[in-house]
Amino acid sequence: MKWQVVETKKGTRCRVLEGGSGAPVVFFHGAGGLLRENPYLDGLSQRYHVYAPEWPGYGDSTGEELLEDMLDFALHGWDLVDALGLSRPHLAGHSMGGMIAAEMACLAPRDLGKLALVAPAGLWMDAQPIPDIFAMLPYQLAEVLFHDPAKGQALLTGGADLSDMEALKEFYIGSQRRLSMAGKILFPIPNRRLSKRLYRLTAPTLVVWGVADRLIVPAYAERWKTMIPGARVVMVDNAGHMLPYEQPDALVRALSEFLV
């Protein structure tokens, strides 16, 4: 896969990781952004034409000041689809990206093929409060995000040596910039009333969840199924919230079977 840069009509400049051929799939990353290696995208690109845009505020993508609320975020998703010249792509997203993809589908239900949500954010249940990722030390973050926190910690830092001050500074600045952006739709509670709009969905929908998700626990998978009649739910073993990175093959298999 390779990077390209697109400019949206609104004025953001976004890097997009692109590759493969076949039906177009736009995959939106979670609050942590794309990591250095993203094997699930490589796997998907064996069967589909995959576009994984990097959100403004992440990596080299700019224009974060142009996006402030949920509507801005969802419309930016569609602006990206337009900028990429796609017609009725499948939409997929992980965590925050799933929340965005679901909002996009509610806004323009006839403009997509299918909808695939991987441990999406966007709903809130008082009985299952989602841990506050904005109030966590780095090691605590790995503990709620991964089935295997030790491996996860290394993935999050991209193998950088954080005892090196320069590396730490770079990691810290990048992380502050990403979460600053994510906070616009996730802080203080990751619920922007998507549940009021889900009735509008018409696209076939798949929900994929890690059995060991400690951030947004599997009870939320049930909630999504209730909110979207007809949605298919796939539970994945040995996966936490970072399912795409912990079980990439299982994710690719689930998506491939669903998207066909």
Partner 1 sequence: MKFTWFNLMPWPYLPDDFREKNRSVWVDIPNTLYDPRKGHAVYHTYLDQLEYAETLGFDGIGCNEHHQNGYGLMPSPNLIAATLSRRTSRAALCVIGNSIAGYNPPIRVAEEFAMLDVISGGRLIAGFPVGTPMDTNFCYGQIPALTRDKYGEAHDLIMKAWASDEPFAFDGKYNQLRWVNCWPKPIQKPHPPIYIPGGGSIETWDFCLDHDYNYSYLSFFGYLRGKSLLDGYWERVAKRGKDDSPYRAAFAQIICVADTDAEAERLYAEHVLYFFNRCLHVFPPFADPAGYRTMATIKHGALAQLTLARQKILENLTWKQLVDERFIIAGSPETVRQQLEECIKGLRIGHLFCLFHNGNMPDWKTRHSSKLFAEKVMPHLRDLWPEWKHDDRWWMHPMDDRLHPEERRPGAEKIGQEWAP
Residue 127 or 165 having the CB closest to partner 1 = 165
Residue 105 or 145 having the CB closest to partner 1 = 145
Residue 175 in tokens? 């992380």
Contacts to partner 1 by CB under 8 A: 68, 134-137, 165, 168-169, 172-173, 175-184, 187-189
- Residue whose entry in the numeric block shows the structure tokens 């299918």: 114
Q: Which are the contacts of 106, defined by CB distance < 8 A and separation ≥ 6?
A: 74, 194, 197, 198, 200, 201
Whole-Å CA distances, 55 to 14, 170, 217: 7, 19, 25
Parallel, antiparallel, or unpaired for β 24-28 and 13-19?
unpaired
Please, which residues bridge with residue 182 across strands?
none
Residue 187 or 199 having the CB closest to partner 1 = 187
Residue 185 or 259 having the CB closest to partner 1 = 185
Q: Which are the contacts of 95, defined by CB distance < 8 A and separation ≥ 6?
A: 30, 31, 118, 119, 120, 121, 215, 216, 241
Shortest approach of partner 1 to residue 22 CB, angstroms? 37
Shortest approach of partner 1 to residue 176 CB, angstroms? 5
Three-class SS of residue 92? Answer: strand
Find how far residue 217's CA is from the centre of its chain. Answer: 16
Shortest approach of partner 1 to residue 18 CB, angstroms? 28
Three-class SS of residue 53? Answer: strand
Residue 25 or 141 having the CB closest to partner 1 = 141
Shortest approach of partner 1 to residue 172 CB, angstroms? 7
Residue 62 or 256 having the CB closest to partner 1 = 62
Shortest approach of partner 1 to residue 180 CB, angstroms? 3
Shortest approach of partner 1 to residue 54 CB, angstroms? 17
Whole-Å CA distances, 256 to 89, 166, 185, 250: 14, 41, 29, 10
